[in-house]
Homo-oligomer: A and B are copies of this chain.
Amino acid sequence: MTYMQAHRYLMQYSIRPSVQRTAVMEYLMNHKTHPTVDEIYLALSPGIPTLSKTTVYNTLNLFIEKGAVQMLTIDEKNARYDADTSKHAHFYCGTCGKVHDIMNVNPEVFEIPSNSQFTIHSMQLSYYGTCTSCNS
């Protein structure tokens, strides 16, 4: 995924593509590891030396507001961000702290239940446990 593709993606969501914003989106598109703010900041800092963590926060909050990315609340310590909007679940390893995608979930699980009390906009399916590699 190139810088230009990230740029176009932002435009589709009516987000003015500054250098910082485009770099954050490009990073999310290329690193499907559900990074934290800190991980994004540390990864982009070398390339954009003036970058501040505030801008990363501002940027991600804007992306969420515009619906371009999803915030994952799977990890109580840090917010994590995902630009993949396809229907998939997440696994959080309590040992290494990493979040992995689980793609092979029955699609009907992602159907929104009808409920007269609530208007549902989105959902998250989160699994918790240990990576088999961490177990050893």
- Give bound CA distance, A123 to B91, whole Å: 9
Query: Size class of A's contact patch?
Result: 35 or more
Q: Which residues of B contact A116 (CB under 8 A)?
A: 132
Q: Is the Cβ of B73 less than 8 Å from the Cβ of A100?
A: no
Smallest CB separation, A70 vs chain B (Å): 10
Smallest CB separation, A80 vs chain B (Å): 10
Total copies of this chain within the assembly: 2
A71 interfacial by beta-carbon distance below 8 Å: yes
Smallest CB separation, A56 vs chain B (Å): 16
Q: Is the Cβ of B128 less than 8 Å from the Cβ of A121?
A: yes
Return the chain B residue nearest A74 by Cβ.
Answer: B73
15 example contacts (A-B, Cβ-Cβ < 8 A) are as follows: A71-B76, A73-B126, A94-B121, A102-B115, A106-B108, A109-B109, A118-B129, A118-B132, A119-B131, A119-B135, A120-B127, A120-B128, A123-B126, A124-B125, A126-B126
Chain A residues close to B by CB (< 8 Å): 71, 73-76, 79, 89, 91, 93-94, 100, 102, 104-106, 108-109, 112-113, 115-133, 135
Known A91-B115, A120-B129, A124-B125; further 6 A-B contacts with Cβ < 8 A: A89-B113, A102-B113, A105-B113, A118-B129, A120-B128, A122-B127
